[in-house]
Each structure stands twice: as C-alpha cells, then as structure tokens.
Amino acid sequence: MASADNKIYFIITAKPPPPYGYIKAGEICFIDKQRFNTRQKNNDTDVLPVVRMGKVTDTLLDKVLLQPLSRRSAELLMAVESNEDRLLVLNDPEALEKASNLSAGCQVHVEYKGQWLTGVIRYIGSLKSFSSDPLTGVFFGVELQGEDKGKGQNDGSFSYKTYFTCPKNSGIFAPFTRIKPVYHKPSAPLLPTQSSLSITTTEPLKAGDRVTFFGDKNAHHGMVMDIKDHPDGKMVLISTDKDEEGKRGGEMLIPLDCVIKEELLNKDETEKMDTSQGAGMGGVTDSDEITVGSLVQFLGKTLLYGIVRWIGYLPDFPGMTAGLELEDSSAGVNDGTYKGKRYFNCPPYCGLFVKLSSCRPDDRFSGVKKKLFNGNSDNDEAMVSEEQDNVPPIRTEDVSNRLIGKMKGIQGHCNSCYMDSALFRQGFVSEQSVMNLRKQLQKREHCPTYTTDEKDPEEFLSLIMQEILFLDPPLILCSQSGSIQKVQSCYYYQIFMDYNHHLVLPTVQQLLEHSFYSNSLKLAEVPSCLILTMPRSGKSFKMFPKIIPSTELDITGLLADGPQQCVLCGQLANQECAECFRDAAFSDTGFKYFCVKCSAQVHSHQQRRCHKPSTLILPQGFSYSQSSGSDRRTPPREKLELFAVLCIETSHYVSFVKYGPQDTDWIFFDSMADRVGESDGYNIPEVRACPEVGQYLHMPLAQLANQVPREMEGVAKRLFCDGYMYLYQSKTMSLYR
C-alpha cells in the first residue's frame, strides 16, 4: 500500500451505512501515510479517516469497505467516469496490470463510438491543468493509424491544450477500459508522420544496438540493454537518452514491435529527403513562399514547428539552408551557431539547421477558406470550405513574437468589427476571408444585410455556436413562478436591471446577482462558459458610466441546487430570504442565505419581522438536526474566471483577451486600428499588450473607484467605460462540455 507521494489510496467497495449513505461505492479516496502509520501503531485502523477525491474534509469509514490501490491503479481508475464501471474493473486485475505496463509508442486498439480502431499511444497522463487532489485520472492519447485515420475526435488537443500532435480527427483520449494492447507485429510502422515509411525490423535486435521508439510528442532514443520474454510477446529493455519527463538516464520496457533500429530509420529518412526535392506544381514548391520570420514545419523523425531565423548557405552543407528556432525547447541541437560561427540567436537546444526545401509553411495557420474556380471567378458555387485543424494555444513566452503587432488578428472590413472582436484568433486573417464567411452566413440565415450591416456580437456568436459548431447551449436557467418551475437553455445572458437599485459603480458580480434577483432566476447547473451582455438602452445609452469587471465570478449563490453558506457564520445554510437581498445592513453582493440560528437572530429585528424566509432543500449528503444544529462542513464555492471582454464605443467593437496565468497577461485587439488609403484602401488590425489592464483589475475597489477614466493608462479606459460583453469560463466544467 506504499505510495511515492506519501498517500495511501483506496476504492470504496460498498455503500457505507448511515450517516454516510450519500457516499457511493466506486469512489476513490486516500489517507496520509504518516497518519495511517500513527493509527497503525495505536492499533486504531478498524476505522480510517479518508478523504474522497474532490473533497477537502475526511470521512470515517470502516476498513472493510476500503480496498487498497497502488497510485498507478488509482490514477487509471480515476479516468473511468462511472463508479459502477470502476467496481467492475476491480474484478479484472489483469486489465489494470496491462494498462500499467503500457507506454508511449505502443500499438493499441481503442474503442470509439462502438468501434475498435487501431492506433499508437502518443500521450499518457492527466487532462486537467490544475487539481487540488493528490492525483488525477490518467488518460491515453492515441493517434489513429492506417485505415482508421480521420475516424477520431481531435488532433491531440483537449480543452484548448495540445498534448500531442496528429492530423485532424485522428486523435482520441480514452481511459484504459477502452484500450487494448496489441503485441503482434503491426502492419504499418508506428510513426507520427503524414506519410508511411518503408521501415522493416527483420534484422534482429541485440544488446548494444541504438534504437528509436516514439513517445507522446517526440522520438525517444536509447540503447538496447536486454530482450525479455513476456506472456504477450517479447519486450525490449531500453536505456533511454531522455525519459518521458525529459530527464536523462531512464530505463523503459517497450514491446519489440514498437522499437526501430536507428540505422534503418536514418537510411529511410535520407531516401525520403532526396525524393522530396522536386515536390510542387510547375516547379514551384512551398519553400518558395518561406522567408525569414515565416512559421514553418519540418518533417524529421517527428513533426517539428518553428520560426525561420536565417536563410543562406552553410559551409559543407549542400543547398540553401534554413536556420530554425523550434517551439520544442528539447528538439533542437544548438543556439543558432554552426561550427563555431553564429548565424542567429535563440535559446540553447532550440536551434536547428535544415534544408530549406524540406520546410513547409506551418499548416496550423493555413487559411480557413479556399476558392476553386472553374473558369469563372464570380461563381459562388465554386467556393468551398476547407476545415482548419484546431490551433493549439500559444505559450505565454511566445505571445510577444506570435501575437503582438500590426497586421495581426482579423482584418476589419465593412462593419465587420462585431465579428472580428468576437472571433479574435492568432495569426493574420485577411478581410476577404472574413467576407467569405459573411457570405456563407448570409445564405444560411437568408439575411440580405450580413455582408454590409453591423450585427450584435451575441447574436453572431449564438449563430456560430448553434448553426456552425452545433454546440449545446452552455447556460441552463430555471425560473420559479408560484409552484411551477420553468427551465430554459440559452447561449448568452442579457443582464436586465430594474430602476429600483442603489448601485453607482457596480461590479459584474453585483449586476448579475441583481438581474437574477429581479427576474427570479437561478442556474440549473454550473455552465462551462458564461457569456454576459451588460444592461443598455440601445448601443448608445449606457446605464452605468463605468462597470468594474469581476475577474472571478462566484456563482455559488445563483445555483438552484447545491449547498449554500450562511452569510453570517459560514456554516451550511437552511433558509433564503429574498427581502434581505436589498437590506442596507448587508453587503451589496450575494443572495442572503442563513442557517436556522442566524436567521432567527436576523429576523428578530422589528424591521425584518415581516420577512418570509424560504426553506432550502438540502442536497444529498448534507443534513440538519435540532440536537446538533447545522452541518458544520463548509459548502464548496463555484467560481468562474474572466477570459475576455468585448467593448463598444461609437458603434466600434474591440476586445480584450487574457492569454496567460499572470494578472497582467492581457492583450487588446482592434481590427481597424489604422487605415491605409481612403475608399480604395484597407484597414490595419493590431494586437497590443496591455498589462496595465491587469493592474487596474486587481486594484482595491476603493482605489479603483477614484480613478479618472481619461487619466487611466493605455487602453484601460475602454475596458472600464465601454464594456459590452463579458466572457467567463469554468476550468472544471470545460473538461466535460
């Protein structure tokens, strides 16, 4: 039961008796090893204080209900969505053992939509960027191979984060219950490239041979230490140059069929490079478009991405050469020097010199649309849509080079700023591409003014999400009318305010709460994304001259179902008082929930004796008794984080986007920041860093209230005075929806 992280893990094998009947069999829990050892010394292990995953307090459970797990088994089981399925897997310990032995580069079958597809493991690990639990579920990222390419669900990305790279719809993330290892000789080589390579492994391996196998993103290299027999086939013990975490000197056990002798791989790569010199139409190759500063991809032993920093001739290096600064800081071999001479500057192990003819434009930034003309350039039917692969997020340290500057983002044209600001993306998108999209939307909606007139960004986003992306509405609202509860779903929420309020310099938090209160609304569930539009009377009249964006939106009190916290003592609330919401004695933020004791005290005041608090239905697992009082556990808080704001001033939309984890990681985008020429000219889009926005957002409210808008630094005034739409996200829910 030992654990490397000083935790001992268990799975609950049966539903506990009262008062813990709310705990489900199949949940994973843990106890600190030191705490367990202390209880063991005192012969006090019949009942253990374990902490269930996702919780912060411990629960006393009889040890007969707990089955010990290794850390690896707990991680694998955490990825299984259903508690019932976890319990079924316990009856098949061999499946857990096989999954624990799998590594990146192994060929497997993966179940998807009822079919078993063939692929290669490229990633093994968590899909959560942050968790307060000591471990998270381990998923297998599989790149589909052969005839099954294109039958998957992604390109190695999940929730806007790239875990490995593969062609579009050729990646799948799955728990181990949907993975079956394949140890027989594969019919196709296991390489993360677009084309198949004629590599055979008929020449036997022996100890001392240099070999290559492919991991989650890059090729791994090492030396054969031993070849061992295994019930499912031969396995190769490899001393790697780098282990899976990038550290040197790791040893890994890899199936024989997943290992390639390096001399065979190098021979095939040389032949492939020679045959690719004359590729292209009419003698013109993609490399003719590449200049210094171009974003390119290079097909070596794996697919690499980088920026061209230098083009020229190197001594003893045939042909035109490109010096690349690679995105992957471990894939290069130099810092821009060759044989002691510097040709460009980049961080260590990020530089690589390659043949210019082997570089191709980075297809992650290819155009969204392409015209195919059949002798008639006016033929709209000749316009076809070419779907673009998902663009992985940019690393924070690369934002300055990749995003910031003029002619970056979407180029505005003919009242398109409402679209440009809502669709802001990396790279450069020409006005013609946007017009092509507007034409297609015009046909779809049968609206004759989509290519000329300005629309509301919330209507445009709703159209994109519903008609183009086919997304379910992320927001589910419930309203109470007498004894009847109505539920409705929507893509965004328009904040409406009655005029019976005393807010002068409101926060988004206050506006949302007052709007929900005035309209008797609650959230049926935590939304993965919450799009809010501010109260206005048309586009010209603002109800408030300045609104404070809430960087964090606490929606706990807005949830229809879920434990609430007493606003006075912090314990579990049992009652809600609608009349107290506007009471000046309380804060301007939050619905007013009370425990029974505090409610009695509050409503003993003569001004509140006429209030009629309503009783809350306690969620499963929480209880209240007259003898012991309120449940003393602190209810969890549900919070959303701000990631973008759209602003409008004199019918012109701009956007602010948060791109990194730091408070100051904000950028400002204007699709019509400047213009060249008059009627026959064009607009110049611009993206600029605006760290001052983050500084203002995290300023104390009293200090921020005293700021004079026209004296604010940079573009901060536009954020606080012209806010139109605020976009929030739940990092937890975005993993599932």
Catalytic residue numbers read 417, 652
- Nearest Cα neighbor of 720 from 733, 711, 732 is 711
* Residue 708, token pair as written in the block: 């004079």
Give the Cα separation of 45 and 331 in Å (integer).
Answer: 50
Strand 219-228 vs strand 139-144: parallel, antiparallel, or unpaired? unpaired
Q: Give, in order, the Cα–Cα distances in Å from 502 to each of 85, 391, 545, 583, 703.
A: 53, 45, 14, 11, 20
Question: Dihedral angle at the C-alpha atoms of 414, 416, 421, 427, nearest 10 degrees?
Answer: -70
Q: How many CA atoms lie within 13 A of 682 on its CB side?
A: 8
- The 10 Å Cβ neighbour count of residue 267 is 13
Print the SS3 string covering 169-200. Answer: CCEEEECHHHEEECCCCCCCCCCCCCCCCCCC
Q: What's CA 233's distance to the chain center, in Å? A: 38
Sign of the C-alpha dihedral, residues 719, 725, 731, 734? negative
DSSP codes joined into one string, 684-712: EEEEEE-HHHHHHHTS-HHHHHT--GGGS
Contact 142, 121 (CB under 8 A): yes
DSSP state of 467: I
- Nearest Cα neighbor of 104 from 131, 139, 69, 75 is 139
Strand 409-410 vs strand 428-429: parallel, antiparallel, or unpaired? parallel
Q: What's CA 612's distance to the chain center, in Å? A: 44
- Buried b vs exposed e over 570-609: b needs ≥16 C-beta within 10 Å? ebbbbbbbeebbeeeeeebebbbbbbbebbeebbeeeebe
- Nearest Cα neighbor of 213 from 239, 180, 249 is 239
- The 10 Å Cβ neighbour count of residue 274 is 9
Give the Cα separation of 494 and 532 in Å (integer).
Answer: 6
DSSP codes joined into one string, 529-594: EEEEE--EETTTEESSS--B--SEEE-GGGBSSS--B-TTT-SB--EE-SGGGG-TTS-SSS--EE
DSSP codes joined into one string, 490-536: ES-EE----S----SS-BHHHHHHHHHHHTTEEESS--SEEEEE--E
* Residue 645, token pair as written in the block: 């704001």
Q: How many residues does the chain have?
A: 737
Is residue 600 classed as helix, strand or coil in its secondary structure?
helix
- The 10 Å Cβ neighbour count of residue 337 is 15
- What are the φ and ψ backbone dihedral angles of 481, each rounded to 5 degrees? -125, 95
Q: How many CA atoms lie within 13 A of 561 on its CB side?
A: 10
The angle, 0 to 180 degrees and rounded to 10, between the axes of the packed helices 71-78 and 93-101 is 100
Question: Dihedral angle at the C-alpha atoms of 276, 280, 283, 286, nearest 10 degrees?
Answer: -90
Give the Cα separation of 596 and 105 in Å (integer).
Answer: 59
